Structure 1
Amino acid sequence: MTREYTSLHFTKIAFKPLHTNLFNIVLLSIFLSLGSGNLYSQDIKKKQTTIPSKKQEVKSSDTKNSVDKSVVEVKTDTVRLDTVKVKKGVLDSKVKYKAENYVKIDQKKKHITLYDKAELYYQDVELKSGIIVMDYEKNEVYAGRIKDSLGNYTQFPNFKQGSNVIEPDSIRFNFKTKKALIWNSRSNQGEFNVKAAITKKENDSVYFLKGARFTTAKDIDNPEYYFQTNKIKFTPGKKIVTGFTNMVIAGVPTPLFLPFAYFPLSKETSVSGIILPSYNDSNDKGFSLQNGGYYFALSDYYNLTLTGDYYTNGSYGIAAQSSYGYRYHFQGTFNVRYENNITSERGYPDYSKTKIYNIQWSHSQDSKANPNSTFSASVNLGSSEYFKQTINQINVGSSLNNTLSSSISYSTVFNGVPQSRISLTATHSQNTQTKEINMTLPTLQFSVDRMYPFALNDGAKKGFIKNINLQYNLNGKNSFKTTDSLFFKPEMFKNADIGFQHSIPLSTNFKVFKHFSVSSSLNYEEVWYFKTINKRYDDQLNTVITTDVKGFDTYRTYSTSTNLGTTIYGTFNLGSDKKIQSIRHVMRPSISHSYRPSFEKYYDTYATDASGTMQKDYTRFEGGIYGFPNKNSSNFLGLNLSNTFEAKVRDKDSTKTEAKKIMLLNNLNFDTSYNFDAKTLNWSPLRVSGGTQFFDNKLSANFGATLDPYAIDNGGNKIDVFNINNGGSLFRMTSANLTMNYSIDNKGTKKDKNSQSLRNGGRGDDLFGSDIDVGSDRKSQFGDEDEEDEISEFFRSKLPWDMTFAYSLTYGNSNRENKVIGNSIMVSANADLTAKWKAGISTGYDFVQNGVTFTQLRFERDLMSWRMDFNWTPFGDNASWNFYIGIKSGVLSDIKWEKRNLTN
């Protein structure tokens, strides 16, 4: 580094001894007694009181003084003499600064004074303040506020070193020792805002605070609540340790205090710690402590939470939850819970004791991890009564779901010509009403991509021959059917069904008469089983006995199908001066034919009575997981007609010249078939279905009806007589249904607020109620945690709200009952009553049962740093209420009060 001297002019005066006059000798001796060496004089220029605000730079010169630039590199040194050693520079790097009013440099005191919107940058320190005084000899800086014309303090210091920011009234900092003394500092540490009367900075990693308060409130000067303590020691980004701490709410000290406290502030990883339980009571289980436990921050990639519940009547529950993830590879969650659920007291008639469990696992792989192989999991299995009997209910709506399902799959692709792929899947389906479980462990699927043996190398595939293609598919299953009580017990695996299905579809497609598309296929299928059945009549038991026959067996079938279709367009012009200018009708008629011959050779007979005269046909492949060959041939002619209707209407905006397109009917389908090989009832019922949307696609409506051409007798049995020939109409409506769904809001796109409900198999809306989160990190039940409302004198001109509406109507007349089987409506609505009050309701009515469906009322009050909510299910099997008030911040989520009660 080159050395630069301050811009001063020196004049050197040297005295020589004289030989002629004694007076001069005496005078010289007097001067030598007063001082010796060198004498200096200095030329001083006039001081400047202000400096332009634009950024400039000053560098010292030996010949010229230059102070017209506001970014200065200052280094001081003594003048080099023969008898004086050179001193090292005071500052270690450049000092950049500026001020709006003036910059004052005092070389004698070695001070730089900046006034009004002052800024100073040195090393890793950034300092902004009303006034800044830097002593570059002592390596110290002082910053403070200034008064405006009205005498009010403004321009408070903003001190930033690295990632730490402090906003005090004034500060004194030493660049060498890194020590600082700070008055009325305000800083942000993690989720905490900290204010202290006096702060002493020992070094970059240790601060001592006196007369401090800390809170998660945004306004540190007027917080809704804070913790008052006289002594704090904290390490930025790591921890806060306090002495005696008292909680203050709305400026009023509370009886809540701690002799000491410790708060982790780690930014990189979570910190292990205790999870405080919440207190609740129940009418049939007594008092309880719920969701207490410990959180283990095991690494950056996975964690573990262990929690438990205990009720005074002996009920208890334990749970383990883990989240894991590896960026750009995979992520997932795992939850398992077990409960020993006791109702009432021993000796009472309503006493019961059940053991229930639930396992949930979700895993997803990043598409970038391996483009050729994927692994995913979505597991939700357990006791059928879990969501109805659990003592730690998370989502009430989940108890209304009757099905649990799971899937774990792995697939990989083999690149080649042709390309092939293989996948392994384990599935689980559970009916919580019947408690029946169907499980495959595993399912094998292997396929080879479509091959065109007659296509040219240039890839052209035109005509019947060149479009001939074939594939190969292999499916294998190891299937189990069991119940709740036998799940994963030895009895479950004894009745496993194992089978393989091979299929080779051969197909082609081409056009005829330019406008008709034809597709034809031939499908060969071969099925392997390792267990078949045998039926015989037992004379002693007087019944038919079915026994399993173990061993390899197989059957082979084939079928053909052909489809002919086209598209017809029709436009009806009504006039450009009409509101509806034109209607467009698109018809897609198609005729299909399918044929499957009889495979009677796979059938045997067995006696159904002791005499043996009554015989019945059966196939040994009955009950197989891939079905069995049909004895009767089928020869179907299918008729299908699909329609769509669009309209062009004049736009309400007169400035637009183009007509507006609207959809009248998304689809209107007619579907029936005729079986040539059936001896009676050749025509199948005509199925009519359709759907459309209204109000900018916010309201969707779907309808359907089944029309049977055959009549029924007095016993309700279908007879081989057309209904019109039996004195009726052309068709007899046997069933009809209408469903409508409407979702609207004035807040934009509605968020998916029920992820837990979806994992449990429930709905993604609020029709079955919103989540009741009883975890330690409680979220808003309205799902708008990140939304900020601007509070003004008038809240909003439009009241924020959202609504979901569903209606279902089902009509039945298969046996002349002519009645409405189902007729119900469900509504869910949420609204912001004020900037801080939210309310919601989920309810419905069943017009057939004449009763109110599941109903939930919910209220929430935003208390800025706190949240208060109330959730009430007034009646039904899940009748309960829940009241909660607590701090939003996750680091203080255990500071809460919660009251829950099951009222049924």
Structure 2
Amino acid sequence: MQTKIPNTLFCLIFTLFFGLNSFSQERENNSIPVQSDTDTIAPLLDSEEISQQLEQRDTVKVDTLKKPTFLTDIVTYTAIDYMRLSPRENKMYLYNEAKIVYGDMTIEAGLIIIDNNKNEVFAYGIIDTAGVYTQKPSFTQLERTIEPDSIRFNFDTERALVYNSRTQEASFNVKGEVTKRENDSVYFMRNVRFTTSEDVDNPEYYFYARKIKFVPDKKIVTGLVNMYIADVPTPLALPFGYFPMTDENTSGFIIPSPGDSQYGYNLQNGGYYFALSDYADLLMLGSYYTNGSYNMEGASSYAKRYKFRGNVSVRYEKLYNSERGFPNFNERSTYNIRWSHSQDSKANPSSRFAASVNLGSSEYYQESINQSNTGNFLNNTLSSSVSYSKTFAGEPQVNLSLAARHSQNTRTQSINMSLPTLQLSMTRIYPFEPKIGAKKGLFENINFQYSLRGENQINTTDSLFFKPEMFKDARLGAQHSIPISTNFKVFKFLSVSTSTSYEETWVGRTFDRSYDPVLDTEVIDTINGFDSYRTYNFSASMGTTVYGQKNFGSDKKIQAVRHVMRPSISYNINPGFDRYYDTYEILRPGDDVDDIQLVDFSRFDGTLYGAPGNRFGSSIGLSISNTLEAKVRDKDSTATEPKKITFLNNFSVGTSYNLAGDDLKLAPLSLRGSIPLLDKKLNINFGGNLDVYALDNNNRRIDKLNIENGGSLFRLTNGSVNFGYNFSNKDFEGGDDEEDDADPLDDETYRNGGRTDDLFGKSMGPDGELFDEDPFEGDEDENENGWYNYKIPWDVRLAYSLNYINSARQDQISAHSIMFSGNVELSPKWKVGFSSGYDVVNTGFTYTQLRFFRDLNSWQMSFNWVPFGQRKQWNFLIRIKSSMLQDIKYEKRRERDRTL
């Protein structure tokens, strides 16, 4: 209910000069009024009725002089039980859920007293029937709320005194014994606690300051401040403190983490964070070891909504083993460059730019002493790709892409790069298609395409990377391709397709070969200049789909079984291009007659796309694909349709017969397939090759069937079985699987070239904590005390692999391993994780990591332990969870001496 100054509070002052019959409402004390059994007090009136009575009884002539007003805005006040006016005290009492709104300020409390003499408002809580102090005052201005025990506010000065106030600013919960509100942007407080704990009255820890100056959304400036843990003072104290309160990114120092390793005592990952703008930042980190070793890293993340996002980092390490002057002293340098960039699909539908770069020293992850690289030392391959693609709309549509690619084997230290790769393609053109209706028959389905691929390929080693020598043997070339194809049906059920392809290859250099009888070796001369060759081929295929079904009746558990076969036969012709080949002679003197050996070669051998074949090829290919499915009665009695399950998925058998070959015409029989299990959540993939030819005493294939050589019909030359499976407690509770919407670009291990899961362990962050270390966020299944869960959440990941080889009578399992990882939430505050595996061939455990998490409300504790192996180490960390105070921590780590 609203009223202006002349009609409300200002009128109350006039009542002091008139002898109205309202003194009977007065009481002798200032206690809270309670109605007696015999109520002699006049009925309570609301503010509007009070104003009307005052206007009717006021016979004083209104002063024509304009009086100064002490209120600058409309005052609105309400209460549930009553609003009582006391003319003698010139006060108004509002009782039970009282509320006053003045401008952008709102005061709520159990009891509010308005003193018109002092132009002040007092707000208190009230005591309920159980003796509990309830309805404590709440002071709100704009979006800031303070919840004290009592409030005193002056309308003239707009200053306030607040007792035992509680407020939240940024990540801090602040409680002050006495708070003086100077204005809407400055507060002075005495005997203050501020903490990131949710319970400000009983926090796990807090900072205690005798006096502070508090500027909302900006800063807290304190005098002497102490840190208390469980109400016990700690030696951690500062003569003064400055705590930024802004929610925006701010620049600042990053405190390093101490440790001990074979390189001596160290400080890891200390530096400075630069908040460049709302779209980009910069992180500069460094580590130093007492033997002189050091590493540096510069990282930046950038993002623009609905446009793009990415991150880039450059890392360098200088490592010293032993001490200078010792015989085993050595030094080495390693580096690593990463860049990830992704473009929003809505930014530009016709063009796209993407980057995923991970290159550097091959031994970087294996020899790195930074704990943030722990989860990536198992990587054997580094790869990079930077690409730009553009689509030109029209008929036909043209697609253009330009890319730079890099592949690096960290074991062999070989590097393959393509700088750049140009690809241009055109969509299919049907020159004889009808203007109206679908295409039918051989003639109307004739189509052709055009594609161009040009690249500059560089093969080098890690030692020559980024040196001029790496470009010495670069291979430049381009390949034009025009495929022409058509398809039609024969006898209604057979699908026939034929195609021919014309290719033209351009190269920037060729190689001439000759024989040097003096040196008895082949001499290769490089011929720089443009050269080209042209090839063509022909192929045809025919296939169909055969369905077979056996019904057992709807009353049976297995109601029907269906077998789907897709047989196909193909024919390929590859002409021999002898005109691109030459011959040189090798003369070897003999006792009676000189031995002359003719060697065929092509000047295109060793070029980017190699030389064309000089042998005529003609082959027939045979393949058949099988799928076995069944319809079974659903366990759910409410289901109206049977459930479909797959016994065998895409089991294919294929081989080929070389019509133009002289011997060994039949290729090995190839078998591939998968068996879906557990509602298609587990797929067992298998494969193998069966050879019909026998081996001689030197374990070489001979043109003789194996069964004719005393063996079986087929000889298993190789085989493989592998599967991966993820399951959790939700699979046994009938719950729906939750989709993982996490962006892989946010995963540090993935950006380093590793896996997004923890099958090979998890890396540790710059502060020593494990990435994704807050496993309790969003868990709503905690009980009231947080001691245990009725249902214990858990998850497990398995990966199994087996490879068998017998191509030359090895009869051995070349690889056989199982990897497993998982997490168990023992209680709402405890979680245990593990990652390990077992190598059956080498009879030993693979890299094993044990992880322990403890949520301490405002704090978090983690322990990471690698119990054995080359990376044997442990790391203990306890720190405040809030990112604002994450530098307040204790960390202890120990690494194994890798030189032992």
**TM-score, normalised via structure 1 length:** 0.90
Q: More displaced, 818-827 or 425-434? A: 818-827
Query: 1:122, CA displacement in angstroms?
Result: 2.7
Partner of 1:23: none
Name the count of aligned residue pairs. 860
CA distance in 1, matches of 2:326, 2:873: 23
Which of 831, 834, 858 is residue 827 of structure 2 equivalent to? 834
Q: What is the rounded CA distance, in whole Å, between the counterparts of 1:201 and 1:554 in structure 2?
A: 85
1:62-141 equivalences in 2 (<5 Å) = 81=61, 84-87=64-67, 90-106=70-86, 111-135=91-115, 140-141=120-121
Which residue of structure 1 lines up, in the alignment, with residue 606 of structure 2?
623
Query: What does 1:754-765 align with in structure 2 at a 5 Å threshold?
Result: 755-765=747-757
Q: Which of 127-136 and 722-731 deviates more?
A: 127-136
Q: What is the aligned counterpart of 2:629 among 629, 643, 646?
A: 646
User: Amino acid of the residue matched to residue 190 of structure 1?
Assistant: A
Change (3 A) 1:61 1:454: same
The residue aligned with 2:249 is 270
Instruction: Provide the residue aligned with 1:158 in structure 2.
Output: 138
Percent identity among equivalent residues? 51
- Tell me by how many angstroms 1:86 deviates: 3.6
2:191 matches 1:211: yes
Match of 2:40 in 1: none
Q: Return the alpha-carbon distance in structure 2 between the equivalents of residues 505 and 108 of structure 1.
A: 104
Bigger drift between 500-509 and 652-661 goes to: 652-661
CA distance in 1 between counterparts of 2:434 and 2:60 reads 94
- Residue number in structure 2 paired with 1:32: none
8 Å CA contact 1:544, 1:608 repeated in 2: no
Give how far 1:96 is off: 3.3
Q: Does 1:196 align with 2:176?
A: yes
In structure 2, the CA distance between the partners of 1:3 and 1:756, relative to structure 1 (3 Å rule), is closer
- What does the per-residue CA deviation read over 1:658-707, in whole Å, with 9 as the maximum and x for residues that have no partner? 32222212221112111211111111111111112222333221111111
Q: Distance in 2 between matches of 1:76 and 1:208?
A: 46
1:694 aligned partner? 677
Which is further off, 627-636 or 331-340? Answer: 627-636
Alpha-carbon offset, residue 118 of structure 1: 2.1
CA-CA distance at 1:6 after TM superposition? 3.6
Kept in 2: contact 1:802–1:829 (CA 8 A)? yes
CA distance in 1, matches of 2:169, 2:275: 20
Structure-2 separation of matches of 1:714 and 1:635: 31
Partner of residue 765 from structure 2, selected from 760, 765, 773: 773
Which residue in 2 is equivalent to 1:234? 214
Cα shift readout 1:155-185 (whole Å, capped 9, x = no counterpart): 1122221121111111123345332211101
C-alpha distance in structure 2 between counterparts of 1:863 and 1:60, whole Å: 55
2:346 maps to: 368
One-letter code of the match for 1:699? L
CA distance in 1, matches of 2:46, 2:443: 87
Classify 1:273/1:819 alpha carbon distance in 2 versus 1 (closer, same or farther; 3 Å). Answer: same
Structure 2: distance between partners of 1:391 and 1:750: 35
Where does residue 723 of structure 2 map in the other structure? 740
Letter in 1 for 2:214: F
What per-residue deviation string (whole Å, max 9, x for no partner) do you get for residues 38-71 of structure 1?
A: x9775769989999xxxxx9785899559xxxxx
What's the counterpart of residue 515 of structure 2? Answer: 537
Shift of 1:824: 1.5
> Secondary structure in 2 aligned to 1:196?
strand
| Preserved CA contact (<8 Å) 2:163 2:177 | yes
Shift of 1:445: 1.0
Equivalents in 2 of 1:777, 1:729: separation in Å? Answer: 59
More moved, 160-169 vs 658-667:
658-667
Query: Which residue of the partner structure matches residue 697 of structure 2?
Result: 714
The one of 809, 817, 825 equivalent to 2:818 is: 825
Structure 1 stretches lacking a partner, 5+ long = 11-38, 52-56, 67-74
- Is the Cα contact below 8 Å between 1:691 and 1:701 reproduced in 2? yes
Q: What's the offset of the Cα at 1:365?
A: 1.3
Matches of 2:91 and 2:542, distance apart in 1: 96
C-alpha deviations, 1:458-484, integer Å up to 9, x for none? Answer: 363222222222111111101111111
Of 624, 632, 636 in structure 1, the residue corresponding to residue 615 of structure 2 is 632
1:494 and 1:60, CA in 2 relative to 1: closer, same or farther beyond 3 A?
A: same
Question: Distance in 2 between the 1:521 and 1:112 partners?
Answer: 97
Return the letter of the residue paired with 2:206: Y
The question of whether the paired residues in 2 share the 8 Å contact of 1:428 and 1:437 is answered with yes
Q: Which residue pairs with 2:39 in the alignment?
A: none
**1:207: how far off?**
1.3
Distance 2:89 2:443 in 1: 101
Aligned position for 2:30: none
Distance 1:118 1:554, change over 3 A: same
Match of 1:499 in 2: 477
What are the within-5 Å matches in structure 2 for residues 484-495 of structure 1?
484-495=462-473
String of CA shifts for 1:109-161, please: whole Å, max 9, x gaps: 66443211223333222332212234567654322211111222111122221
Aligned to 1:36: none
Alpha carbons 1:470, 1:505 under 8 Å: kept: yes
The offset of 1:828, in angstroms, is 1.0
Kept in 2: contact 1:6–1:76 (CA 8 A): no
Q: Deviations over 1:254-285 (max 9, x none)?
A: 11111112121212x31111111110010x20
User: Are residue 884 (structure 1) and residue 889 (structure 2) matched?
Assistant: no
Is the counterpart of residue 445 in structure 1 residue 423 in structure 2?
yes
CA shift digits 1:392-414 (9 cap, x unpaired): 13142311110000011111122
- Asked if 1 retains the 8 angstrom alpha-carbon contact of 2:71 and 2:156, the reply is no
Q: Which residue of 2 aligns with 1:481?
A: 459
Post-superposition Cα deviations, 1:267-305, rounded to whole Å, max 9, x if no partner, equal 2x31111111110010x2010011111111111111111
| Amino acid in structure 1 at the alignment position of 2:251 | S
Match of 1:326 in 2: 304
Give a deviation string over 1:173-217, Cα, whole Å, max 9, x none.
334533221110111111111111011111121111110011111
Q: Does the residue aligned with 1:226 lie in a helix, a strand or coil?
A: strand
2:241 aligned with 1:261, yes or no?
yes
**Contact 1:507 1:522 survives alignment (8 Å):** yes
Q: CA 1:852–1:5 in 2, change beyond 3 Å: closer, same or farther? A: closer
Match of 1:658 in 2: 641
Which residue of structure 2 aligns with residue 811 of structure 1? 804
Alpha-carbon separation, structure 1, partners of 2:713 and 2:77: 95
Q: 1:187 aligns with which of 153, 156, 167?
A: 167
Aligned residue for 2:827, secondary structure, equals coil
Structure 1 residue 100, shift from structure 2 partner:
2.3
| Structure 2: gaps (5+ residues) | 12-16, 27-32, 36-44, 590-594, 731-736
Aligned-residue offset at 1:310: 0.5
Equivalent AA in structure 2 for residue 790 of structure 1: E
The corresponding residue for 2:527 is: 549
What is the identity, as a one-letter code, of the residue corresponding to 1:294? Y
SS at match of 2:615: coil
CA–CA separation in structure 2 for the residues paired with 1:222 and 1:353:
54
CA distance in 2, matches of 1:867, 1:2: 54
Deviations 1:225-257 (A, max 9, x none): 111111111211111111111111111111111
- CA 1:7–1:727 in 2, change beyond 3 Å: closer, same or farther? closer
Q: CA deviation at 1:224?
A: 0.6
State the Cα distance separating 1:783 from its structure 2 match: 4.8
Kindly state the Cα deviation for residue 537 of structure 1 after the two structures are TM-superposed.
Answer: 1.1
If the length of structure 2 is used for normalisation, what is the TM-score?
A: 0.90
1:358 to partner: Cα distance: 0.6
Kindly indicate whether the alpha-carbon contact (under 8 Å) linking 1:776 and 1:893 is maintained by their aligned counterparts in 2.
no
Matches within 5 A, 1:409-428: 409-428=387-406
Q: 1:246 to 1:325 in 2, by over 3 A?
A: same
Q: 1:306 to 1:176 in 2, by over 3 A?
A: farther
Equivalent residue letter for 1:691: S
Quote the Cα distance in structure 1 between the aligned partners of 2:60 and 2:496: 103
Q: Give the C-alpha shift of residue 740 in structure 1.
A: 2.1
Cα offsets for 1:64-101 (capped at 9, x unmatched): 559xxxxxxxx999988475414355544433333222
Q: Which amino acid aligns with 1:843?
A: S
User: Letter of the aligned partner of 1:862 in structure 2?
Assistant: D
Output one character per residue of 1:491-538: Cα deviation in whole Å (capped at 9) or x when no partner.
111221111111111122222222222222221111110011111112
- Over the aligned positions, Cα root-mean-square deviation in angstroms equals 2.9
Q: What letter is aligned with 1:514?
A: K
The equivalent of 1:30 in structure 2 is none
Query: 1:603-614 to 2 correspondence within 5 Å?
Result: 603-609=581-587, 613-614=596-597
